[in-house]
Amino acid sequence: MNSFTSRGRGLLALALVALVAGWAFGQPALLAVGSLLALVPMIGAASVRRSRFVLGCSRVVTPSQFAVGGQAEVVLTVENGSRLASGALLLEDVVPAALGDAPRLLLDRVPPHAQRAVRYAITGGDRGRHRVGPLAVTVTDPFGTASITREFSATNPVLVTPEIVPLGRAGSSLAPGGRGETLFRSLAARGDDDVLPRDHRPGDDMRRIHWRATARLGNLMVRREEQAWHSSMVVILDNRASAHSGTGPASTFEWAVSAAASVVLHYQHLGWRVTVIDASGLVLVDAPASGIAESEPALQAFAEVRTTQAAMSPGLSVDLEGVSAVIAVLGRVSDDAARSLVRPTSGFAGCLPLDPAPTDHLRALGWRVSPWTRGMPVAEAWARIAPQQAGALR
């Protein structure tokens, strides 16, 4: 949009006065002054209009993925493709409220066929996917009498993930992949001679047939390979809106998301397969054992999870076959909701409910329980339920 600045409008007003006075009083000098005053903003308007076709901009966000409370740097590069130097440039980038205030940056002058870069920071206030941009550039002529605003269409994606808290050594003394000595007692730690076969199902690989058990039982049996070679964990994230309080980063739901994500990444990096389900039984993450690079899908899923109005699903339909441990990160939970929780028939079951909680009822159901509050550090809450020795995991 092309317009005159306040200075340009002032010069045009003075030019009009001078022209009227010169014509009324027959003063050629005033007419000349008025014409000159009017010519300056007109030339300015023509020069900035030409900038519309030779101005280019680009944006780089580093990093494009960061945790809540973290920062990223945005670099805006402006290129002047004209043979003339530009006047002052006002850069206004669109930034979501979740990433901070929208910046207003001023460039004094960009030489012809040259580039200038400016930087500003954004801060992760809320989890989720956001977009930075588009950029609006306001160009003024060298005399500051006219301006034109050009809006660019390009935007950059930004992913804000939950805060990941280091959990230390609590519950970590296990061998990756479920081999060797493991804190979580399960079939994952059994040798091939101790494997518990199951009935053959359509689609099972014939290489998994357990011939010894097949001959003994008379039915086609297969090895439970997942149990034989992998430690497997299920994490339950309570995303019921009625179970949490507060909004934004200060809400109890954000604490629960951070705690669940920290547990998932902690054990993923230790070589565990981790499945995350929400209160309705929907699978949010089904992550194999991995290193840091393969944890991106889990981080992205936790970045986008939101609360729901649904109630806790009865029985939380999740296949616990081969699962060595279940971790439940809960909001406010009633006795009825507690009965909906599932746990493996053997192995470890840890529960972090929002205080106050029916701890006696949960313990009676076989859970190791420690209530939490919004001000409690995630690592401290986890340390209260994390297994310290193998004998404590029955």
pLDDT of residue 184: 46
pLDDT of residue 330: 94
Q: In this model, does residue 74 exceed pLDDT 90?
A: yes
Q: In this model, does residue 315 exceed pLDDT 50?
A: yes
DSSP per residue, 163-191:
PPPP-TTTT--S-GGG-SS-SS-SGGG--
Rounded CA-CA distance 93/99 in Å is: 12
Rounded CA-CA distance 317/333 in Å is: 18
Rounded CA-CA distance 72/78 in Å is: 20
For residue range 235-294, what is the model confidence (pLDDT) as tens digits? 999 999 999 999 888 899 999 999 999 999 998 888 888 889 998 888 898 877 655 546
Q: Which residue has the higher pLDDT, 137 or 8?
A: 137
Q: In this model, does residue 81 exceed pLDDT 90?
A: no
pLDDT of residue 21: 85
- Please give the distance of CA 201 from its chain centroid, rounded to a whole number: 39
Prediction pTM value: 0.73
What H or E segment, with its residue span, contains residue 158? Answer: strand 156-161
Q: In this model, does residue 391 exceed pLDDT 70?
A: no
| CB-based contacts of 293, cutoff 8 Å, min separation 6 | none
Strands 273-278 and 232-237, sheet pairing: parallel
Rounded CA-CA distance 191/180 in Å is: 9
Going by pLDDT thresholds of 50, 70 and 90, the confidence category of residue 94 is very high
pLDDT of residue 171: 56
Return the closest-CA partner of residue 329 out of 246, 393, 197, 235: 235
Q: Which residue has the higher pLDDT, 85 or 333?
A: 333
- Please give the distance of CA 234 from its chain centroid, rounded to a whole number: 22
Q: Which residue has the higher pLDDT, 194 or 204?
A: 204
Q: What is the mean pLDDT of residues 211-217?
A: 83
Rounded CA-CA distance 351/244 in Å is: 16
For residue range 24-35, what is the model confidence (pLDDT) as tens digits? 888 888 888 888
Residues recorded for the chain: 394
Q: Which residue has the higher pLDDT, 311 or 97?
A: 97
Strands 348-352 and 221-222, sheet pairing: unpaired
Q: Which of 73-87, 252-266, 295-309 tops mean pLDDT?
A: 252-266
pLDDT of residue 307: 93
46-55, 129-138, 141-150, 348-357: segment of lowest average pLDDT: 46-55
Q: Which residue has the higher pLDDT, 370 or 3?
A: 370
For residue range 227-236, what is the model confidence (pLDDT) as tens digits? 434 578 889 9
Tokens of 254: 């954000």
